[in-house]
Amino acid sequence: MFAAGMTIHITYDRNKVLQALRYHFIARPEVKILLILVNVFAILSAGLYAFKLVRSLPFLVSSFLWFMLMVTFWFWMPRMIYNRSSTFKDKIDLNFREANILLETANGYATWAYEKFRYYSESPFFFHLYIDDKSFFLIPKDDCTGDADTVVVRQLLDEKIGRKR
């Protein structure tokens, strides 16, 4: 199953990284709760406004809050993270070894023990390897080819790291 020395040559696609960052933010429990509360408030205020039980201000405030949340989590935060991170602009060789993962770029290398990662999750285009709830490393599924196809990488990650429970 696991081929020691399995390598993935990573290049990041901007649009797919932005989508993965959106997935990360929207999957956060505190963001889910915030979105639910704002949506309930927006629906409630729209209903009360439709029945002329409240003035337009609560409806406008809830609409503005909803709009600002969507802009923040869908556009602003993913772009800010992408632009601040040099990782997404590097070409990375990711080598899965028996005891650790070796990351190599033109600037140097680093080794990460599998124990460094708490869990991993998947989005449509990436494997997200979480160091903690807010820090993670993305492995593009598009770059998983040959010996390192997505099924083998998923099996390796299940064995070495484990999915979020």
How many other C-beta atoms lie within 10 A of the C-beta of residue 9?
Answer: 13
Distance CA 122, CA 107 (A): 28
Percent of the chain with pLDDT over 70: 97
How many other C-beta atoms lie within 10 A of the C-beta of residue 115?
Answer: 10
Return the ∠ at Cα 19 (arms to 18 and 20), rounded to 5°: 90
pLDDT of residue 3: 57
HSE-up of residue 149 (Cα within 13 Å, Cβ side): 4
> pTM of the prediction?
0.84
pLDDT of residue 146: 79
**Has domain 6-12+89-160 been given CATH number 1.20.58?**
no
pLDDT of residue 148: 78
pLDDT of residue 23: 92
| pLDDT tier for residue 151 given thresholds of 50, 70 and 90 | very high
pLDDT digits (tens, 9 = 90+) for 104-118: 999 999 999 999 999
Mean pLDDT of 11-29: 94
Beta bridge partners of 139: 127
pLDDT digits (tens, 9 = 90+) for 156-165: 999 999 998 6
Q: Is 35 exposed, middle or buried (0-12, 13-18, 19+ CB in 10 A)?
A: middle
pLDDT of residue 38: 83
Return the ∠ at Cα 11 (arms to 9 and 12), rounded to 5°: 140
